[in-house]
Structure formats: structure tokens, C-alpha cells
Amino acid sequence: MSEFTPLPDPIVASMGIYAASVYGRVWRYCQMERGRCFAPAHRIATELNLGQRTVERYLSRLVEDGWIERDSGKSDGKPSTYYTTGKWVMGGSATAADPS
């Protein structure tokens, strides 16, 4: 994985820096393995120096707001996997709430 995690301005503006950093980490993982993030929340939390519950809360909010989608693995004992929806594209434009 590269040493680069994007912080998309539209997510910072609408949800804050923690949500943007969680999104950025999911985005990085999605660049690696079959376009999906297989990292469990506790790994993302460790990598971002955040609490696991904080990461879980922002993952849920990012799903609710349409930035990422979740394939739930909880029912079969496996962690959820995530993928980006294309609402934000590196170097492109995205829709976001007006911060004013």
C-alpha cells in the first residue's frame, strides 16, 4: 500500500476530518484487492490512531451518506468488506453538502 491517504474535501466539508480519514483508508485498500477493503475496523483504527468504535461509527455514516457500500460479513462471522461508490473520484469532482 502506498504511503498516501486522501482526505476528500467534500467529505471533510460535510462530515469532518475523521470521516474523511476513514474514507481515505478504505479508498487505499480498494486500490489493492479486487476493488474492495477487506481490512477489519480494528486494523483501520490502529492505522489511523483512532478508536475502533470511532471507525465503526464513521464507516456506518459513510455508508448512510453513500460514500461507500458495505457487504456485511457479520452473520457468517467474517468482518464486513467495503467498497467505494464513485461519489468521490481522485482528481475529479464530487457532490457534497454546501458547508456555508
In one-letter notation, the amino acid at residue 75 is S
Give the C-alpha separation, 96 to 73, whole Å. Answer: 29
Quick: pLDDT tens for 25-65: 999 999 986 899 999 999 999 999 999 999 999 999 999 99
Q: Check: CATH 1.10.10.10 for 9-84?
A: yes
Chain position carrying cell 489511523: 48
- The pLDDT, as a whole number, for residue 33 is 66
Please classify residue 17 by burial: count the beta carbons closer than 10 Å to its beta carbon, then call 0-12 exposed, 13-18 middle and 19+ buried: exposed
Task: Locate the domains of the chain by residue range.
Answer: 9-84
Rounded to two decimals, the pTM is 0.84
CB-based contact 69:56 (threshold 8 Å): no
**Closest among 98, 94, 76, 74 to 84, alpha carbons compared:** 94
